[in-house]
Amino acid sequence: MRSTIVSGCMAILFALAVGNCGGGAAGRAATAGDRRGAMVVEIEAADGFVFKPAHVTVAAGTTVRWTNRGAVPHTITSGASSRTADQPGALVDHALPSGASFELTLSAAGEWPYFCRYHEGMGMVGLITVSAGPVSGPSE
């Protein structure tokens, strides 16, 4: 009887762990801690010309890490678009070649739009919402 209960509990824990891997249908960002224990949110730049996830909500002080997992180069460029009025690259304009990563710690609350200069016309845009208080988890 005891081994049946233990086996059942292990099966439930395994199902919960597997169910939280890979982001699920909502496309949640992967989260981890860095060497200092600070929160790191992962965003993938891929050959599909999208950021995955395209929108995340993080607490102030969170580090965001973009990683290019595809063969095509991308950029991480701050601003809503490449139009001069949107001040593209005023905060960040970083090349992201294949296999590279780029990290940025966002400390001020607010909206932080960004895009890929090469693929903006294909819809490769993203948004990070930085909240002043704790966040329960990344959004889609």
The verdict on residue 9 lying in a domain is no
State the 10-residue block means of pLDDT for the chain, 140 residues long: 35 28 35 57 93 96 96 97 96 96 96 97 97 64
Whole-Å CA distances, 51 to 13, 109, 125, 128, 140? 30, 21, 7, 11, 11
The verdict on residue 4 lying in a domain is no
The verdict on residue 1 lying in a domain is no
| Predicted TM-score (pTM) of this structure | 0.71
Q: What does the block give as tokens for 89? A: 């690259």
Q: What does the block give as tokens for 2? A: 């005891």
Query: What is the CA 93 to chain-centroid distance, rounded?
Result: 17
CB 114 within 8 A of CB 42: no
The verdict on residue 18 lying in a domain is no
What is the span of the domain harbouring residue 72? Answer: 27-131
The verdict on residue 10 lying in a domain is no
CATH code where residue 81 lies: 2.60.40.420
Query: What is the chain's percent helix, strand, coil content, to nearest 5?
Result: 20, 40, 45
The verdict on residue 7 lying in a domain is no
Task: Tell me what pLDDT residue 134 has.
Answer: 67
Q: Name the domain count of the chain.
A: 1
The verdict on residue 12 lying in a domain is no
